[in-house]
Structure 1
C-alpha cells in the first residue's frame, strides 16, 4: 500500500521505466510506530527551451499544436496521463512528477521567434495540454502570462485547458483575445465532492472555485467548455449529469469527457490510490476499467483510448449524449478566427497579416 505524504497525490516514487535498477524501502519490523513522513518540498528549476510549439498528429484530439510552459505539475492528480513524461528526465512518475518541477524560462522569447518565421501559419494551439499551465508555481514564475502576452500581440488563436483558478489573473488578456474570437477555455471538473477532490487532485482548486472561474470567464465573453475528465467507473461516473449541469449553470456552452487513462507507470500509481482510499471498491473499479480496455488496464489505440469500448463505455457515451442534448451543451467545437493573425514590427506596429 502507498505511503501517504501530506498534500501529495502519489504515495510512491519508484524509478521510471527507462531506469535499469530500482530501490525499494521495506518495513524491517523495528519502526512500526514511526511518525508520519514529512511533506515533500516542491523544487522548481528553470530550463532553456529550444522550441515551444509542439505538433501532434493524433486523431483523438481537436488540435494539432500545443504549448507547455512546465514539466511536471504540482496539482498532483493521481490519474494524470502525463506523469510518465517525467521518465524522459530520469525522474519518477510518482512523487517526482509533482515535487520536482521545471519551467521554460525563455518561453515567450522562443515563441515570438517561432511566430515570426515567414513559413509560419496560425492554427488552433492548445496551452497546457500536457501539464496545467495555471498550476501553483505559475503565480511566481508567470510563464503562462508571458506566453499569452505574445499571442495577444500576434492575434494568435489559443485554447486553454486548466483546473487552476490563477487564470483569473489573466482575465484582461483573455477578454482582449475573446473580442476577436481567438480564445476558448476548457475547465476540468472531475467531481463536485470536495472530499473526493482532495485525494484525487490534492493541490488543485476546489470544485466551487472552478465553477466561479467558469462564470467569470463566461461573463467576459470567453467560450467555456466543462470537461468531465477523467470518468472513473464506480468512483465519479455517477456524477456525470450533475457535473455537466453545474458547468452549464456556471456559463459553459459546450462539454467533453474522457475515460480514465492509465499509461505506463500510472497503472501502478492508480492501483495504489484505490487500495489506500477506496479499498473495498478497488477490485470492482479495475474490473470495469479492464472491460473498457479490451481486458487490459489500458489500451492506447487511436479511436478508443479516449472513450473506451464495451458495454460500460457505451453506457457512459449514451448518458453523455443525452445530458449534453438536454442541457444545450452539444454545440460544435470552437472554431477560432485565424484571419486576425499579425506579425508586429519591433515598434509594435503590424508588419504583415496572414
Structure 2
C-alpha cells in the first residue's frame, strides 16, 4: 500500500512528491478486513496464508508421545497445536448411584435404541485446557474460560452422542457362580425334585457387570491460531484409537477389581467409525467500513485466527465416510451467525468436508 504526500518547496511554488510504502504487516494491523479483501479479490483468490479459500491447513499427527497415558496424540494444523492424553480409571457399580435402574432400562430397550449408558453413567469425561500464552487472550492466573468449557462440551457431545465409544468396551464383567437354576419355577422344582438335587451339585456362572472403565480425556491446547475444535477433535480421535486397556477381573475374595500387569493381556479400545470435524467461515466485506459496496462473499475453510475475527458466520460439519455402503454420513451440521449461507454453499461445505475426511483418514486408519 503506498501513500503519496505533496509538500510545497521552500524556494518556489512547485511541489515535491514523496512516496511512503507501508509493509504488509502494518497494512494487516491497521485494516485487517481490507487486507483480507485485497487478497481474495485476486484472480484466482488467495488468502494471506497463501491458501485458496477452500484449502485446509496440512495436518501433522504424532501418537503415543505420552508414556504415562493409555493413549495419546499430538496434532498440529498450521500454528494450532493440541496434545491429548487418555487416562482410564475403574469405577465399581456400587459407587454409581442408580446403576441398577440404568442397566435395567438399557437391557429392556436393547435392539430398539442406542445404549446410552456412556452418557448416563459419565464414562467419558473430556477436559480442555487452554495453555497460558497459547493465544493473546490467555493470560496467567485466570479461571477456565467459556471457550474452553464450550470446547469440552462439544467434544463430549461428539463422543457420546456420536456413539464413538461402545459401552461394552468399557464394561468389566464377572462370571458370578450360580447354584442350580435360579429361574426355575416352583412347579418345575416340585415335579423334578430329584433332578434339581443333581443340578444343585453343579456350579453355573452368570455374566454380571461389576464395574466400568471411565475414560478421562485430557486436552491441552498449547498453541491457538484459529479453528481449535477441528484439531482437538482429530487429536482426541487419534488418542482413543491408540488407547490400550488392561485386562480387568473381579476378585471375589478381595471384593474389588484388579488389573493384570501383562501387556500381552491388554486390549485396544474399539472406536466406532471415523467422524471428522471441519469448520468454515463466511467473509462478508460489506460489514466493514470502506467495503460497504462489496456484495461478494467468500467461504473460507479452516480459518486462521485473523479470519475468525473478521467472519461472523460459522459452519461446523462432522462427516464420516468410513462405511462404503452408506456413503457419506453427516453426523452433524451446525451454522451460527449471519444469513449468507444457502443450499449451494452447504453443498460446497459437504464436498470440502469429504476431501478433508480423506486427508485425515490417510493418517488415522493406520493407527
The structure whose residues are more often helix, as a share, is 1
User: TM-score over 0.5 for the alignment?
Assistant: no
The structure with the greater share of residues assigned to strand is 2
TM-score, with structure 2 as normaliser: 0.24
Q: Which has the larger radius of gyration?
A: 2
